[in-house]
Amino acid sequence: MKHQIIKLIFLITLFTNSYSHPHTFIEVEPTVEINKNNIEKLHIKWTLDEMTSMMLIMELDVNADGKFDKNENNFIFENYFSSLQEQNFYTRIIIENQELYIKPFNFKASIEDDRLIYAFEIINILDIRNTTIDFEDEDLFVGMMLEKEFIKINGTQKEQINQLKKQIFGVN
């Protein structure tokens, strides 16, 4: 009977909502602007992995000048970035147990050291005491990589920074 149960658990674990594993990796660098006890603005920088970057730059830098002009930037926003709305831009902001619907502003695509960069801002007033932020792709197709040193927090005392990184982003 014990083996039957193990077998059953084994088979159940194979039924998941995602049948993929990450093929693209994004290093996430969030910068949090704090005023008093509120987050006023979040600046997010995504750096795509080298292989995916090369593939996308080849396709998106139409005039191959190593940078994105206004038209190319608009094209990337409309055809590549906006569609990530379905995944809430891989950003989970939970405020008082409710997930926040993300509306990104000031999107800018650029190229740095052969890596594709997406930068955008989230402008919402969020109470830091009730806010947690996480970055993930539920489908597991993209690996969102967040390290403690990637996070910057402005507008607060230096001694509070580590504690806020843990409290908001859950990093130790």
Partner 1 sequence: MDLYDQFLNQLIQYQFQINKLISSTIRGINDENMLSSSLLVLGIAFLYGLIHAAGPGHGKALVAFYFSTSKNKYSQAFGLGYLISVIHAISALALTFGIFFIIQSMFRQNFNYLSKVSMQISAGMIILVGVYIILSSYLSRQQKENEIEKEKSKYAIAFSAGIVPCPGVMTIVLFCIMLKQYVLGVLAAITMSIGMGLTISLVGILSISLNKKTNSFFESKGYILEIIGGVLILALGLLLFSINQMP
C-beta of 58 vs 157, nearer to partner 1: 58
The residue behind tokens 């859950």 is 170
- Please report whether residue 7 would count as binding partner 1 according to CB under 8 A: yes
How far CA 118 is from CA of 11, 63, 107, in Å, comes to 40, 19, 7
DSSP class per residue in 40-75: EEEEEEEEE-HHHHHHHHHHH-TT-SSS--HHHHHH
- Please report whether residue 171 would count as binding partner 1 according to CB under 8 A: no
- Please report whether residue 4 would count as binding partner 1 according to CB under 8 A: yes
Q: Rounded distance, CA 55 to CA 44, Å?
A: 22
- Please report whether residue 98 would count as binding partner 1 according to CB under 8 A: no
- Please report whether residue 51 would count as binding partner 1 according to CB under 8 A: yes
- Please report whether residue 125 would count as binding partner 1 according to CB under 8 A: no
Question: How many residues lie near partner 1 (CB under 8 A)?
Answer: 34
Q: Rounded distance, CA 75 to CA 15, Å?
A: 38
Can you give the binding site for partner 1, defined by CB under 8 A?
Answer: 3-4, 6-7, 10-11, 13-25, 49-52, 54-56, 58-59, 79-80, 140-141, 143, 145
